[in-house]
Amino acid sequence: MKNQLYLICFLLISVFVTAQEHEHQSSRTLSFPDIPGYKSLKTDLHIHTVFSDGYVWPNIRVMEALRDNLDAISLTEHLEYQPHLADIPHPDRNRSYEIAMAEAKEHDLLIIHGSEITRSAPIGHNNAVFIKDANPILQDKAEAAFSEAKKQGAFVFWNHPAWHNQAPKGNPILSGFQKERIKNRELHGIEVINSVDYAQESLALALEHNLTIMGTSDIHGLIDWDYTVKGNQRPITLVFAKEKSIESMQEALFAGRTVAVYNDLMVGKEEFLTPLLQVSIVVKKASYIKNTEVLELELENVTSSDLLFQNESEYSFYDSSPVFEIGAGETKKVSLKTLAHKDEITLKLKALGCFIAPKVQPIIQWNIKTD
Ligand code: ZN
């Protein structure tokens, strides 16, 4: 009986602790608002299972994605590297996709058919997604693999180009191979965030060669163990699609409409990151304190990322440091000294954790009507 009581107390405490944790960023549920004209699809297009060098069965990947509130995933098994082959022989390289499809059938989660083309440097690792059949992409020559992926209409991106195993300085090395693939329209994107690593040098390459900016978990173990229990969220790519469908998502990726997100880091082209941040903060209140020219604002962060800002407005703050954070889902009150009563003001904030180019953070403007 005593043991049972202990157990009940322990369970109650666990539930309480879990509920507390979930109020902050360690909550694994990801959410971002849609931007004008597009749906913001939350996607992870670099994932492994036991069918290559991962440690879990494909159905677990589907369940994890549902817990994370993702819209789309791709299981991108290495075609050429299968350490579990002796235990899990599978001549058909589409098996992982098929198992995930069966698991996702009852759910609103898009499963994108994909594979990883794996070579040593300078070719490196590349994911082909929106493929039709993984088997013919397994080729001796990398050139032939890319050409087959193109034939299938695949969107192909360069994985972790800054990975120190392949780029010892930790900076991407763009070789003749990539240049040729870009020219042939066989390489369309590049990871700037891979698992916990962000390389601004990869972002520079994305901008220079007009490659789509990607962020992925590259998960091999469990999302829970590798990210959630460490207080992190899984890295994702937000894809701005006309609707939630595979075709629409593919169109958006070819068009480069993405923002890569990892915790409070967001990386994207200005034309997409700026509107995303604009709708990420909702002005809930703007009214003057009675008999003063001090304007009180309530700013709500409607995303699952903590956002760090620096005041760049014409007006200084009355009551806050000019550098401040609005936690995920939280509302921050700030007061502006507008010096005279204004019917409308412009709030300008620099998003310090967000990058539109190496070392360049966007300044976001909100035109606010006051009460
Ligand atoms: Zn991989």
Model confidence, pTM: 0.92
Q: Please say whether the beta carbons of 76 and 129 come within 8 A.
A: yes
Q: Could you give the CA distance from residue 272 to residue 256 in angstroms, rounded to a whole number?
A: 9
Q: Please say whether the beta carbons of 250 and 333 come within 8 A.
A: no
In the CATH scheme, what is the code of domain 276-369?
Answer: 2.60.40
**Amino acid 23: pLDDT:** 43
**Amino acid 2: pLDDT:** 43
- Ligand 1 centroid – CA 56 distance (Å): 14
- Ligand 1 centroid – CA 218 distance (Å): 5
| Distance linking the first and last C-alpha atoms of the chain | 61
Say whether 114 sits in a helix, a strand or coil: strand
Q: pLDDT tens digits for the chain (371 residues)?
A: 444 545 454 444 444 444 444 344 446 899 999 999 999 999 999 999 999 999 999 999 999 999 999 999 999 999 999 999 999 988 899 999 999 999 999 999 999 999 999 999 999 999 999 999 999 999 999 999 999 999 999 999 999 999 998 888 999 999 999 999 999 999 999 999 999 999 999 999 999 999 999 999 999 999 999 999 999 999 999 999 999 999 999 999 999 999 999 999 999 999 999 999 999 999 999 999 999 999 999 999 999 999 999 999 999 999 999 999 999 999 999 999 999 999 999 999 999 999 999 999 999 999 999 99
The neighbourhood of ligand 1, an ion, using CB within 5 A, equals: 116, 218
**Amino acid 25: pLDDT:** 44
How many CA atoms within 13 Å lie on the side-chain side of 369?
A: 1
- Ligand 1 centroid – CA 170 distance (Å): 17
**Amino acid 188: pLDDT:** 98
Q: What residue spans in the chain does CATH classification 3.20.20.140 cover? A: 2-263
Q: Could you give the CA distance from residue 124 to residue 158 in angstroms, rounded to a whole number?
A: 8
- Ligand 1 centroid – CA 162 distance (Å): 13
- Ligand 1 centroid – CA 65 distance (Å): 17
- Ligand 1 centroid – CA 84 distance (Å): 15
Q: What tokens appear for 331 in the block?
A: 């509302």
Alpha carbon separation from 370 to 7, 279, 299, 344 (Å, rounded): 54, 18, 13, 6
**Amino acid 257: pLDDT:** 98
H/E element, 61: helix 58-67
Cis peptide before 122 (omega within 30 of 0): yes
**Amino acid 168: pLDDT:** 87
Q: Please say whether the beta carbons of 128 and 115 come within 8 A.
A: yes
Q: Could you give the CA distance from residue 309 to residue 311 in angstroms, rounded to a whole number?
A: 7
Burial of 279 (0-12, 13-18, 19+ CB in 10 A): middle
Q: What tokens appear for 362 in the block?
A: 């966007």
**Amino acid 19: pLDDT:** 42
CATH architecture designation of domain 2-263: Alpha-Beta Barrel (3.20)
- Ligand 1 centroid – CA 126 distance (Å): 8
- Identify the bridge partners of residue 311 per DSSP, sorted by sequence position: 349
- Identify the bridge partners of residue 17 per DSSP, sorted by sequence position: none
Alpha carbon separation from 56 to 75, 95, 100, 268 (Å, rounded): 11, 14, 12, 31
- Ligand 1 centroid – CA 261 distance (Å): 18
If you search the block for the tokens 């173990």, which residue do you land on? Answer: 221
- Ligand 1 centroid – CA 347 distance (Å): 42
**Amino acid 166: pLDDT:** 87
Q: What is the largest CA-CA distance in the chain?
A: 78
Q: What residue spans in the chain does CATH classification 2.60.40 cover? A: 276-369
